[in-house]
Amino acid sequence: MAEPKIRVTSLKKDFGENHVLRGIDMEIQPGEVVCMIGPSGSGKSTFLRCLNRLEEATSGEILVDGESITGPKADVDRIRRHMGMVFQQFNLFPHYTVKQNLMWAPVELKLKTKEEAEKKALELLERVGLSDKVDAMPRSLSGGQQQRVAIARALCMDPDIMLFDEPTSALDPEMVSEVLDVMRELAEQGMTMVVVTHEMGFAHDVADRVVFFDQGIIQEQGTPEEVIDHPQHERTKSFLSKVL
What is the structure's pLDDT at 84?
Answer: 96
Q: List beta partners, residue 28.
A: 6
1 pLDDT above the threshold of 70: no
Q: State how far the Cα of 135 lies from the Cα of 129, in Å rounded to an integer.
A: 14
- Mean pLDDT throughout 75-101? 93
Q: What is the dihedral of CA 46, 68, 157, 5, to 10 degrees?
A: -80
For residue 58, what is the DSSP state?
A: S
- Phi, psi for residue 76 in degrees, rounded to 5: -60, -40
State the pTM of this model.
Answer: 0.96
71 pLDDT higher than 90: no
Amino acid 77: pLDDT:
85
| Residue 99 clears pLDDT 80, i.e. is over it | yes
pLDDT digits (tens, 9 = 90+) for 172-206: 999 999 999 999 999 999 999 999 999 999 999 99
Q: Which amino acid is at 206?
A: V
**How far are the Cα atoms of 6, 12, 90, 172, 190 from residue 210, in angstroms, in the given order?**
16, 20, 25, 25, 17
